[in-house]
Structure 1
């Protein structure tokens, strides 16, 4: 059975040394998140995820969820009990508003715990993950009365939440939604329609499930401008907060999926279910985007988490598996063959994944800190910059990290060879589970189009101009620190200049032919992702160098991995630039009937 050990040392390095959360102690919630508190939280969470949640990952894959004749769904053995412990341990409420029972700690710390949960058991992580997204959507958009009704039990974990967008005839194009909402005299609405692919739509882990449903009020405008958002509880809620009679919502079936078998992916039927409008009529998409953007960052985290746990197991296997002799001479003379970790191609796969996971972890936590700043920074300029960065980086984190995360899990399976292809070793589950991350919450292709079609042009290009300027300023400030860091800075600036060239090419060619934007979008997003990781690796290298003379080998290993990233990974930017500049001609030339 695969193992999982949370990379707490790397998490501590990022939170304390690189991001320096202790420097934000004047902000709400940060004062309580002292280094000692963070370390204790991480260590206890690591033990629980290793000992309780990770062993259930295989169980969930083999058992899956079971739908019964009455439409109820039972989760795999141990999931319900683990969820109760998860909530009791405070993992669910870390960053939630204290007014509704949350701990009010930094979201950055919550992301570290969320990484552990996704790595230990991705299917399980989706239950509290979607609930957190629903919680934030209600917190930001609902009325005070709705917040008082739904947020406290959702904070405790007694109630969970979902998001209901997709229908049989529409996925990405939500303007085609047909689910209807009929106004009632008492101010409620009757919701009727069918939603598909609803993760955690029905299960036995909580007392109530609060569905957030996109629907069209009768007479609403066509397209997304006519969509509204509704709270539709599984069980009606009394004035005293008690759970009452069953609402007109039910699970019509469970999807048979490639992976994440432990998560109930449901067909949800709404038969004149009672719904409550969230916010204004016809403004549902704006409200739902709060949840969708949070979910996209969480999905990006899933890519990183899957690569991390798969790489851990691959590295352990590579140290033990004996196969052939090293090309440079015998390394284990007391054994019949050398461990495969001596072979350069095995090292390539392990180092590629390590360089990705450590860089992606830094980028995700850095983005989480900016999300904290959106809500807590006292200066409006700082809040706006963080908003800009979140808008710019959300599609990159979602798409780049899930693409590379799947690649990392796949490479880890490859390290196992034939054993990896056999289910008993558990590696195929990581590959199967994380594959969905490239699809849901907006496919990676959609994320790339969002980046080039909306984010680059927004506010006259302010988002990317500010980000590029920050990289330039950091590089200028840190030049001369050391020869090694100077070499990294030189490579980072060269890659950033290629990103600038790509951005300029997009500006000149995308408007002339919109297919150019679509054809270049994948490579542009990956080029951007590499530069963003390069910035993170430069910051990590600086901090590691400051401690390199200490006995802790962590810092020396960090510098070795940094060098690997800058010399063997970052140069991929050149290929992405060359490909995107070819435009759409060759991509679109073949007639459709020729496929």
Structure 2
């Protein structure tokens, strides 16, 4: 069974050396986020996750959640672990001090979430949605709603969910039927059914606050008529105390491919009391506060899965003896060499490594960008919001698609043992697949990226990111050993801009060209971005090698892994470019009735 250990050295390399986070924190006014505090939080989080959360991963998968007489219970040990999670103050890290939070940077919360998700994806789901719930209430809720819900959500005594999807609607939220009617006291009564609600019910917290989209009678059809509501499982007094049971019940829990210890519920609202958040018919706009938070969190799940798969596969590859190296015996005292000596195993391990560490550089960069959006100057906030708008769909989709590959390699490195449940690798692959689906599938993220963010901004958002990359390439090219890589990455950026123009021109004659190109476009951009982050890490590693006599092996490994990325991973982008350039005609030419079984 893989034993997860938080990669503290790499986390600190990215945050402290690559991004100089403490200097940024000081500039943004996070006085408490000192280096000592940072190190203490990471150390304690790593210990907590290792001792309390990771041991429940496989047992939770095997037992799953239980649903009896309308009551949902989590697997053995989950309730106790969650109580320790709350007692340790982990839910409060990055929350507003006005509601009981510690007021630390969002980026520190992101790191702790990575550890939780790597150790136990299912467990991480329960508190995970609460953060989007809190962000939505804090940004759009009334002061009374904040006082009612936020203190106990912040403490972790209560948890939150996001209720969007309905049985007939799927991703098309404009088709929703859930109805909200005004009560005499200004609250609303909600009726309808929501499905696929992660952590929709459980026995971990005292109450659950559902953030629900619904339609008020008389509202416009489609997405323009959606309003947003806070609907608690138990009614709440004006003072924020739990009261009687609300009209919220669980119809069933889903039987799933993975994350079996996370309760995914069908939720029924039967005259449930809810509170309108913000303005009528502005629900979908406000819901994007929740969705964008969740999408970045899911990108973090991709990073976490890649890391967990790499750790498990690496430990096994070092120990498993099979055959001899074709270049000569490497383990003369053993009956065979460890499989890590074989080139194909190296290929898989290095692919996992560059996806995990490249993903960490991207996810942490965006987490720090969120910190800037919270406390930067007006100019910094605007730039941060623009960067997040463009890169959120890439982070969500690319980090999870590459995680699926990384977990598949994890199974493959183990060979037949990888297919056996006791080793934990097949569970990791099953758990990870959902990350490609929820909060918008890869296709949804891709069309959001290309149609809304790139073409919708007339290329302005993309131009800003390309400018950031090319500015760095000028710096990197001044180092002789990085000049060639800088030139290669610059060529990819040029090709990206050229493809964007081609798609825009083709779309004028055939709108389907955007959808046909979108996933390949997202993957191309994802590979380029990881190339950018890897080159940044290589440059920082080289600078550290020149200035420090310690940890030579760590920094040298960054240079070698980065070179592997440029040699064996980045060229994949070219196949996506060719697909885009070939256009979407053959994709759309076959009539639906001519698809044959």
TM-score range, shorter chain: over 0.9
Bigger mean CA deviation after superposition, 358-367 or 513-522: 513-522
Q: Is the 8 A contact 1:495 1:570 kept in 2?
A: no
Q: Secondary structure at the match of 1:417?
A: helix
Distance 1:99 1:139 in 2: 11
2:177 corresponds to 1:178: yes
Distance 2:28 2:578 in 1: 46
Q: Is the 8 A contact 1:66 1:74 kept in 2?
A: yes
Q: Secondary structure at the match of 1:387?
A: helix
Cα distance change on mapping 1:149 and 1:29 into 2, 3 Å: farther
Q: Is the 8 A contact 2:148 2:241 kept in 1?
A: no
Residue 422 of structure 1: aligned partner: 420
Q: Is the 8 A contact 2:359 2:530 kept in 1?
A: yes
Q: 1:27 Cα shift?
A: 4.1
Q: Secondary structure at the match of 2:274?
A: strand
TM superposition score normalised by structure 2: 0.97
Q: Secondary structure at the match of 2:215?
A: strand
Residue 54 of structure 2: aligned partner: 54
Q: Is the 8 A contact 2:25 2:105 kept in 1?
A: no
Q: 1:485 Cα shift?
A: 2.1
Q: 1:130 Cα shift?
A: 0.3
Q: 1:49 Cα shift?
A: 0.9
Q: Secondary structure at the match of 2:227?
A: strand
Aligned pairs (5 A) from 1:31-70: 31-69=31-69
Q: 1:389 Cα shift?
A: 0.6
Bigger mean CA deviation after superposition, 32-41 or 482-491: 482-491
Q: 1:115 Cα shift?
A: 0.4
Distance 1:48 1:450 in 2: 37
Distance 1:36 1:159 in 2: 30
What 5-or-longer segments of structure 1 have no aligned partner?
none
Q: 1:30 Cα shift?
A: 2.6
Residue 594 of structure 1: aligned partner: 595
Distance 1:391 1:61 in 2: 35
Distance 1:314 1:35 in 2: 32
2:182 corresponds to 1:188: no
Alignment partner of 1:442 out of 440, 443, 450: 440
Residue 494 of structure 1: aligned partner: 491
Residue 513 of structure 1: aligned partner: 510
Distance 1:16 1:510 in 2: 44
Residue 89 of structure 1: aligned partner: 88
Residue 219 of structure 1: aligned partner: 218
Q: Secondary structure at the match of 1:217?
A: coil
Q: Secondary structure at the match of 1:581?
A: helix
What 5-or-longer segments of structure 2 have no aligned partner?
none
Distance 2:114 2:367 in 1: 12
Aligned pairs (5 A) from 1:66-81: 66-69=66-69, 71-81=70-80
2:457 corresponds to 1:459: yes
Residue 113 of structure 1: aligned partner: 112
Residue 529 of structure 1: aligned partner: 526
Instruction: Find runs of 4+ consecutive structure 1 residues off by over 4 angstroms.
Output: none
TM superposition score normalised by structure 1: 0.98
Q: 1:488 Cα shift?
A: 2.4
Q: Is the 8 A contact 1:228 1:284 kept in 2?
A: yes
Residue 99 of structure 2: aligned partner: 100
Q: 1:574 Cα shift?
A: 1.5
Distance 1:448 1:10 in 2: 30
Q: Secondary structure at the match of 2:393?
A: helix
Q: 1:434 Cα shift?
A: 0.5
What do you get for the CA RMSD once the two structures are aligned?
1.2
Aligned pairs (5 A) from 1:520-559: 520-549=517-546, 550-552=549-551, 553-559=553-559
Distance 1:394 1:511 in 2: 26
Bigger mean CA deviation after superposition, 421-430 or 16-25: 16-25
Residue 413 of structure 1: aligned partner: 411
Q: 1:240 Cα shift?
A: 2.8
Q: Secondary structure at the match of 2:276?
A: strand
Distance 2:492 2:5 in 1: 34
Residue 8 of structure 1: aligned partner: 8
TM-superposition CA deviations, 1:190-248 (whole Å, max 9, x none): 10000111111110000100011110001111001101011111111123322110000
Q: Is the 8 A contact 1:29 1:104 kept in 2?
A: no
Residue 321 of structure 1: aligned partner: 320
Distance 2:3 2:145 in 1: 42
Cα distance change on mapping 1:257 and 1:29 into 2, 3 Å: farther
Q: 1:28 Cα shift?
A: 4.7
Distance 2:105 2:507 in 1: 39
Q: Is the 8 A contact 2:247 2:272 kept in 1?
A: yes
Residue 467 of structure 2: aligned partner: 469
Distance 2:492 2:36 in 1: 38
Alignment partner of 1:381 out of 371, 376, 379: 379
Q: 1:460 Cα shift?
A: 2.7
Q: Is the 8 A contact 1:29 1:105 kept in 2?
A: no
Q: 1:478 Cα shift?
A: 3.3
Q: Is the 8 A contact 1:24 1:31 kept in 2?
A: no
Distance 2:9 2:125 in 1: 25
TM-superposition CA deviations, 1:388-440 (whole Å, max 9, x none): 11000011001111100011001111000000001111111000000011111
Q: Secondary structure at the match of 1:115?
A: helix
Residue 572 of structure 1: aligned partner: 572
Distance 2:247 2:318 in 1: 56
TM-superposition CA deviations, 1:2-49 (whole Å, max 9, x none): 210111111101111111112224445532212221111111111111
